Amino acid sequence: MATSVESSADVVDGFDTEDPRAVRRAIREGRHRGFTNGLARHHVQGNLVAVPAAHADDFEAYCRANSQALPILGRSAPGARDLPALGEDLDLARDTGGYMIFRDGAHVDTARDARGVWRDDLVSFVLGCSFSFEAILQAHGVRLRHLDEGDVSAMYVTNRDTVPAGPFAGKLVVSMRALRPADAIRATLVSARFPQFHGAPISLGLPSDLGIADLAESYGGHGLTRLEADELPVFWACGATGQIAVRHANLPFCITHHKAHMVVTDLRLPIESLP
Amino acid sequence: MATSVESSADVVDGFDTEDPRAVRRAIREGRHRGFTNGLARHHVQGNLVAVPAAHADDFEAYCRANSQALPILGRSAPGARDLPALGEDLDLARDTGGYMIFRDGAHVDTARDARGVWRDDLVSFVLGCSFSFEAILQAHGVRLRHLDEGDVSAMYVTNRDTVPAGPFAGKLVVSMRALRPADAIRATLVSARFPQFHGAPISLGLPSDLGIADLAESYGGHGLTRLEADELPVFWACGATGQIAVRHANLPFCITHHKAHMVVTDLRLPIESLP
Helices A181-191 and B181-191: crossing angle in degrees, nearest 10, is 70
Contact A204 B205 (CB under 8 A): yes
Contact B202 A184 (CB under 8 A): no
Rounded to 10 degrees, what is the CA torsion of B212, B132, B137, B232? Answer: 10
* Cα–Cα distance, A43 to A24 (Å, whole number): 12
Residues of chain B contacting residue A230, judged by C-beta atoms under 8 Å apart = 206, 208-209
Instruction: Specify the pLDDT at position B2.
Output: 37
- State the nearest Cα–Cα gap between B232 and chain A, in angstroms: 7
* Cα–Cα distance, A238 to B180 (Å, whole number): 21
Contact A202 B208 (CB under 8 A): no
DSSP single-letter state for residue A30: T
- State the nearest Cα–Cα gap between A141 and chain B, in angstroms: 15
- State the nearest Cα–Cα gap between B230 and chain A, in angstroms: 7
Contact A205 B229 (CB under 8 A): no
Vertex A135: Cα angle to A132 and A138 (nearest 5): 150
Nearest chain A residue (CA) to B208: A230
In a mutational test of the B interface, the residue from A180, A198, A209, A231 whose CB has the highest number of chain B CBs within 10 Å is: A209
Q: Who among B189, B192, B209 is closest to A181 (CB)?
A: B209
* Cα–Cα distance, B13 to B11 (Å, whole number): 6
β-bridge mates for residue A126, sequence order: A48, A74
β-bridge mates for residue A50, sequence order: A124, A255
pLDDT, tens only, A61-115: 999 999 999 999 999 999 999 999 999 999 999 999 999 999 998 999 999 999 9
CB distance A30 to A229 below 8 Å:
no
pLDDT, tens only, A34-61: 888 888 989 999 999 999 999 999 999 9
Contact B208 A192 (CB under 8 A): no
Q: Is A74 helix (H, G, I), strand (E, B) or coil?
A: strand
Contact A184 B205 (CB under 8 A): yes
Q: Quickly state the pLDDT bin for A271 (edges 50, 70, 90).
A: confident
pLDDT, tens only, A119-144: 999 999 999 998 888 989 999 999 99
Number of A to B CB contacts under 8 A, please give it. Answer: 60
CB distance A21 to A266 below 8 Å:
yes
Q: Which residues of A touch B (CB under 8 A)?
A: 180-182, 184-185, 188-189, 192, 200-206, 208-209, 229-230, 232
Predicted-complex ipTM score: 0.86
Q: For A213-235, what is the mean pLDDT?
A: 94
Instruction: Specify the pLDDT at position A8.
Output: 43
> Which residue, A3, A27, A8, A2, is CA-closest to A17?
A27
Instruction: Specify the pLDDT at position B273.
Output: 67
CB proximity list for B16: less than 8 A, separation 6 or greater: B22, B23
Contact B185 A202 (CB under 8 A): yes
DSSP letters of chain B?
--B----S--B-S---TT-HHHHHHHHHTTSB-S-STTSSTTEEEEEEEEEEHHHHHHHHHHHHHTTTT--EEEEPPTT----TTT-TT--TTTTTS-EEEEETTEEEEEES--GGG--TTEEEEEEE-HHHHHHHHHHTT---HHHHTT--BEEEEEEEEPPPBTTB--EEEEEEEEE-HHHHHHHHHHHTT-GGGT-S-SEES-GGGGT-S-TTS-GGG-SB-PPPTT-EEEEEE-TTHHHHHHHHTT-SEEEEE-TT--EEEEEEPS-S---
Would you write out chain B's pLDDT as a tens digit for each of its 275 residues? Answer: 333 444 444 444 588 999 999 999 999 998 988 888 888 989 999 999 999 999 999 999 999 999 999 999 999 999 999 999 999 999 999 999 999 999 998 999 999 999 999 999 999 999 999 888 898 999 999 999 998 998 889 999 999 999 999 999 999 999 999 999 999 999 999 999 999 999 999 999 999 999 999 999 999 888 999 999 999 999 999 999 999 999 999 999 999 999 889 999 999 998 776 66
The answer on pLDDT for A1 being more than 70 is no
The answer on pLDDT for A7 being more than 80 is no
Q: Who among A205, A208, A229 is closest to B184 (CB)?
A: A205
Nearest chain A residue (CA) to B182: A203
